[in-house]
Amino acid sequence: MTVTRIVCNFASADVPGLAAFYSDLLNLNILMDQGWIITLGSGELGPVQLSVAAQGGAGSPVPDISVEVENVDEVHDRARAMGATITYPLTEESWGVRRFFVADPMGREINILSHV
């Protein structure tokens, strides 16, 4: 057996609103909209990965989701322009990533990162 995809499913009373947040923040496209569920994506399949952690690194809380992007500074600027709550500052970490945490409208911690 080979796992071909892992999908994050977030519960929300405001499905269109939460989908718009992620679409706007991460430049994602709507791949499917059934009303009760909206699936977003870049149109590309990424590698399958699942992390289990006791902490989020550098003493930070474990984020609910980590999203690797090409340009973390661009997404950080977009998050600030959206008025999103930055919960961990833009930091270049000793293990080779530049990242920040932002809270989604439901309060979930999103680790946005780029490898340096």
pLDDT of amino acid 91: 98
pLDDT of amino acid 28: 95
pTM of the model: 0.90
pLDDT of amino acid 5: 81
What are the tens digits of pLDDT across the range 81-90?
A: 999 999 999 9
CA distance 93 to 63: 15
Residues of the chain with pLDDT under 70: none
Domains annotated for the chain, with CATH where assigned, are 15-44+56-115 (3.10.180.10)
Report DSSP state, residue 79: H
CA distance 102 to 84: 7
pLDDT of amino acid 44: 76
Do residues 26 and 84 make contact, with C-beta atoms less than 8 angstroms apart? no
Alpha-carbon distances of 13 from 2, 10, 17, 18, 28, rounded to whole Å: 33, 10, 9, 9, 20
